Amino acid sequence: MNLIELRDIRKTFYLGEVVLPVLKGISLDIAKGEMVALTGASGSGKSTLMNTLGCLDRPTSGDYALEGEEVSRLSNDARARMRNLKLGFVFQNFNLLPRTTAHVQVMMPLLYGAEYISQKEARARAETMLVRVGLADRMDHQPSQLSGGQQQRVALARALINRPSLLLADEPTGNLDSQTTREVLALFKQLNDQDGITILIVTHDPKVAASCRRVIRMADGLIEADEITAGGPS
Amino acid sequence: MKALRILLIKALRILAAALTALRRNVLRSGLTTLGIVIGVGAVIAMMEIGNGSSSAIQKTITSMGANTLMIFPGAAASGGVSFGAGSTMTLTPQDCDAILKECPSVRAAAPVIRSRNAPVIYGNKNWVPSEISGTTPNYLSVREWPLSEGAAFDDRDVRNSARVCLIGQTVVRELFQGQSPIGQEVRLQNVALRVVGVLDKKGANMMGRDQDDTLIAPWTTIKFRISGTTTANTAAAAQAAGTSTTTQRGALYPGSAQGIYAARSATQTKNSPMPVRMISVDSISVAATSSEEIKDATTEMTGLLHERHHIGEADVDDFNIRDLAEISKALSSTTTMMTNLLLVVAMISLVVGGVGIMNIMLVSVTERTKEIGLRMAVGARGADILRQFLTESVVLCLAGGAMGIGLGRGSSYLVSKILHWPTLPSLGAIIASVLVSASVGIIFGFYPAWKASRLDPIEALRYE
């Protein structure tokens, strides 16, 4: 069973009179443990696809099975539950809460968890995650006291705290310099290799795409190319 | 049990999240609560000052004789013509004694006889007091009227129709001019009365009449020695006399049961009724034990007088009981109204404070759109977001309420210390303002929170 199975996913936006088809029938399988790059020009529909995959949005039509569970027609609350349990998000602009320590940031998703986790356990888990992303000595720092790379690591730790099956990264290196980009990508790779976390990176950057074993290129709401590259960082 | 603990911990976590969010912008949170602080502070201060002044007024009214009752004789009628209140002479000093003895809600009672206004002469000066009354020493207790000089006449003076009197401050001023009146003799209708005591200053009564412009003597003295007693319609009195307690002619001493003649049988009494000498009083002043007991005292006295005057169910009362409760009620209702008015003003400021909270919460929701999007992305449901923002506004309001209670209590303390206004702490006001500020938080926080919960996560995340 694949982690993700998309069957003829269509998404059409209705802006008043204008009908705007963005996804025009996408079928896609992603297996557990893959590291996939999703590229394409602006307006090719990759963001919409990512939102659909991330259970933030419902497709107009088509089926989406996440770990065998049909999620394309779930209610808002059920999708929120899905996001909490099975998905992790990393964003281009980190999206950290201002004036909040890294520790608290990382614990935040646990606040909405359906299962009960004691405060002690939550703290311990957040610490483990921060150590995992290499921020053992930055736990009580606020975003303003952290560099871009460190901020993205905090965001990564936050995305991983509920042990998601899929990590969605939207231009995770878009705001980082090349040095930190390399570091963050290395971290992604490490997580993928060692922990078997499935990662989907949406990116413009060919270098980032090249670091993934599988690259899906989108154009005009359809998958233009889906190729297995040599993989691994050069 | 465990589920309850988990629920509690979850609630605490939501509270902690709200506090963290509020702490991120301390100044703004503080300024936002200011409306509530002032509103609640105003409510508390108003309530305390209002309560204080209303209880002070209550006390003043009591000292003015608010728990005093007056019993007047009823109206006489002859051939369908009414003679008006007080035209019968049905009240006797014995009624007064019985009231004092048999009514537990009565603290003191005194018969009062009013004399026609006549000049009081001392040396080459004369003065007409606005009130000349004859009574017993109990009268001073009924009126709560202390003496500033000398001593009151006693019961023996009353029995002996002693030529003594007490005079009020105004009379002292007009007749004696700085000289001590004690032991001096004044003349009232050619009867010399020795001044034994001077009444303390009481000022004007509620009708504006000078209460110090008075002369008080034993009622027997006024009734029997000084002419010009208010003898109303004696014909009517004679009709009513059959039901009255009267002093029988031939009694050896007043109050003594032993007569000088042999007792008559019931048949003899029926056949030839003895002519009676009516001793009636103009009114009886009664003090209830407290202002709450006025109703009981009235009931007790009505029952007693019905019995003593042989008034049946169907008969018309030959007496009226009047009290000042109406006046005290009117006055205290005035203060209650003032307190309520101020409370309404304070409530308006609370509402204004609530609108301020709503305004800031709306700004906050807009400003934190990205955060809301993020929270939704990591799994917060609409309800979670709603709860969080609602918690924030309630926390804001409750904190404001707590500070407001402090402010209100503080300012009422200052008012009582600096302006010497009476204040009275009110637990009810504190509980009410806590409840009100919590509900202000919920009511005015709901719309922004609801708006936040309805955000689309994708839009919210993209919001710049």
Per-residue pLDDT tens digits for B152-201 = 998 889 888 889 999 999 999 889 888 888 999 998 888 899 999 999 88
Backbone φ and ψ for B200, nearest 5 degrees, come out as -70, 160
pLDDT at residue B336 greater than cutoff 50: yes
How near does any CA of chain A get to the CA of B30, in Å?
17
The residues pairing with A20 across neighbouring beta strands, listed in sequence order, are A13
Contact A56 B380 (CB under 8 A): no
pLDDT at residue A42 greater than cutoff 80: yes
Give dist(CA A144, CA A138) in Å, integer: 12
In B, minimum Cα distance to A88 occurs at B378
* Residue B242 banded pLDDT, cuts 50, 70, 90: very low
Q: Hunting for tokens 């509020």 — which residue is that?
A: B22
For the residues B236-260, what does the mean pLDDT come to?
A: 46
For the residues B407-424, what does the mean pLDDT come to?
A: 88
How near does any CA of chain A get to the CA of B376, in Å?
7
pLDDT at residue B234 greater than cutoff 50: no
Nearest Cβ partner of B379 from A95, A98, A112? Answer: A112
User: What pLDDT, in 10s, does the model give residues B282-298?
Assistant: 889 998 887 778 888 88
Q: Which chain A residues are within 8 Å of B461, Cβ to Cβ?
A: 56, 91, 95
* Residue A153 banded pLDDT, cuts 50, 70, 90: very high
Give dist(CA B220, CA B218) in Å, integer: 5
In A, minimum Cα distance to B379 occurs at A84
| Average pLDDT of every residue of chain B | 82
**CB of B220 closer than 8 Å to CB of B161:** yes
Among A15, A48, A75, A84, most B C-beta atoms within 10 A, so best to mutate, is A84
For the residues A140-165, what does the mean pLDDT come to?
A: 92
Q: What's the pTM?
A: 0.69
Among A47, A77, A116, most B C-beta atoms within 10 A, so best to mutate, is A116
Q: Which residue has the higher pLDDT, B381 or B322?
A: B381
**Beta strands A166-170 and A198-202: pairing type?**
parallel
Nearest Cβ partner of A83 from B6, B24, B378? Answer: B378
Q: In sequence order, which ranges of B242-324 are alpha helices (DSSP H)?
A: 266-271, 294-308
Nearest to A180 by CA among A152, A156, A154: A152
Contact A83 B377 (CB under 8 A): yes
pLDDT at residue B231 greater than cutoff 50: no
pLDDT for residue A39: 92
Nearest Cβ partner of A108 from B24, B370, B378? Answer: B378
pLDDT at residue B436 greater than cutoff 80: yes
Give dist(CA B76, CA B238) in Å, integer: 10
pLDDT for residue B238: 39
Beta-strand ranges (E) seen in B170-326 are 185-188, 191-199, 214-218, 283-288, 319-323
DSSP 8-class letter at B224: I
Max Cα separation, chain B? 118
* Distance set, CA B176 to CA B127, B168, B213, B289, B456 (Å): 11, 12, 14, 37, 94
Nearest Cβ partner of B17 from A80, A111, A119? Answer: A111
Q: Which residue has the higher pLDDT, B67 or A123?
A: A123
Contact A56 B377 (CB under 8 A): yes
- Please state which of the ranges A158-172, B44-58, B143-157 shows the lowest mean pLDDT: B44-58
Structure tokens at B70: 């007056």
A65 in reach of chain B (CB within 8 A): no
Q: Which residue has the higher pLDDT, A164 or B291?
A: A164
pLDDT for residue B274: 59
pLDDT for residue B305: 87
In A, minimum Cα distance to B14 occurs at A111
pLDDT at residue B46 greater than cutoff 80: yes
pLDDT at residue A200 greater than cutoff 90: yes
B458 in reach of chain A (CB within 8 A): yes
pLDDT for residue A137: 92
pLDDT for residue A218: 92
pLDDT at residue A208 greater than cutoff 60: yes
pLDDT for residue B167: 92
User: What pLDDT, in 10s, does the model give residues B255-286?
Assistant: 555 556 677 777 877 777 655 556 788 889 99
Max Cα separation, chain A? 55
Nearest Cβ partner of B24 from A77, A84, A98? Answer: A98
For the residues B26-46, what does the mean pLDDT come to?
A: 88
Contact B458 A57 (CB under 8 A): yes
pLDDT at residue A216 greater than cutoff 60: yes
B9 in reach of chain A (CB within 8 A): yes
Tell me which H or E stretch contains B343: helix B325-367
| Average pLDDT of every residue of chain A | 89
Contact B379 A76 (CB under 8 A): no
pLDDT for residue A7: 93
> Taking a contact as any Cβ pair under 8 Å apart, which residues of chain B between 336 and 395 contact chain A?
370-371, 373-384
User: What pLDDT, in 10s, does the model give residues B95-123?
Assistant: 888 898 888 889 899 999 888 788 899 98
- Please state which of the ranges A123-132, B29-38, B73-82 shows the lowest mean pLDDT: B73-82
In A, minimum Cα distance to B370 occurs at A95
Structure tokens at B15: 């509270």
pLDDT for residue A231: 53
Nearest to A172 by CA among A8, A37, A71, A21: A37
Q: Is B106 helix (H, G, I), strand (E, B) or coil?
A: strand
The residues pairing with A88 across neighbouring beta strands, listed in sequence order, are A167
